[in-house]
Amino acid sequence: MPFRHWILLIVLGAIWGGAFLFAKVAVAEIPPFVLVFFRVSIACTVLLTYLWARGLLSGLEAKHALPFLVMGLLNNAVPFSLLFLGQTVIGAGLASILNATTPVFTVLVASVVVKQEALQANRVAGVVLGVAGVAVMLSSSLSGLATDPVWAQLCCLGAALSYALAATFARRFRSMPPQVAATGQLLGSSAIMLPVALLTASGWTVSDPSLTTWLNVLALGTVATALAYLIYFRLLAEAGATNASLVTLLVPASALFFGWLILGEKLSAFQLGGFAVLLAGLVVLDGRLLQRLGPKPA
């Protein structure tokens, strides 16, 4: 990739890593499902404005309403809800590490469940290492060496599985401009989360959170969702899906750094060890490093 693509990739990794920090701060004062609605509705408003400025609003046709709802459910409503629920009791860094298992689940769904892709040797090895890394991380809580609740960690893994299902479903939007597809799914997830937020916001009012919390909500919707989508789509168009997927390796690293620097979060030795194994699995799953290190053809 040219240098500017690396810059975009690093910026995107920092933004999505920061999303876990924004969420950790905001979910302390805002109910998780309400926070999800704020995130998707703010991002939807920004992207609708972007489409209007680019003359792309006509792409939001009524015939796509059901696919947009399904995509909004799988790629926004369910994973955001599970991540925010988990982050009520676990740190931003740990949540981001568990969410980094998305490529592992994507391979399993695409290759084993729906059989859209061939299961190559490096992918099998990457999945095995990824599962082993998760097992090591969960073992620290199961054995009492860490106090992070297992249910919260399983929520984050459930979010990764939902993202994997969304990646498989998203193939039907290939002919659609990605900005339109993103806006459509945010419209769908906003419609889904509005009644859920209203039903779960009893006893809570918009005057309860502090200014700092509202600034984190605004950053979550505008920067970590709307702007991040636009950067990601530019990378997809210019650098390709394979290069854009490298952001998966950067997000947990940036979330860990921000969590340590700003919130003072720390991981147990088992959790760090599990992260190292998972990271190795993602590198093997990607396959390019193995190709560079392997024997060159004659």
pLDDT single digits (tens) 176-188: 888 999 999 999 9
Residue-level pLDDT at 116: 62
Residue-level pLDDT at 218: 97
Residues 6 or more apart in contact with residue 249 via CB below 8 angstroms: 13, 100, 279, 282, 283, 286
pLDDT digits (tens, 9 = 90+) for 206-218: 999 999 999 999 9
The tokens of 295 are what? 């024997």
pTM: 0.90
d(CA 230, CA 47) in angstroms, rounded, equals 9
Burial pattern 68-83, b for ≥16 Cβ within 10 A else e, equals bbbbbbbbbbbbbbbb
pLDDT digits (tens, 9 = 90+) for 189-210: 999 999 999 999 988 999 999 9
d(CA 4, CA 170) in angstroms, rounded, equals 27
Query: In percent, how much of the chain has pLDDT > 90?
Result: 55
Average model confidence (pLDDT) across the chain: 88
Residues 6 or more apart in contact with residue 194 via CB below 8 angstroms: 37, 41
Report the first-to-last Cα separation within the chain, whole angstroms: 25
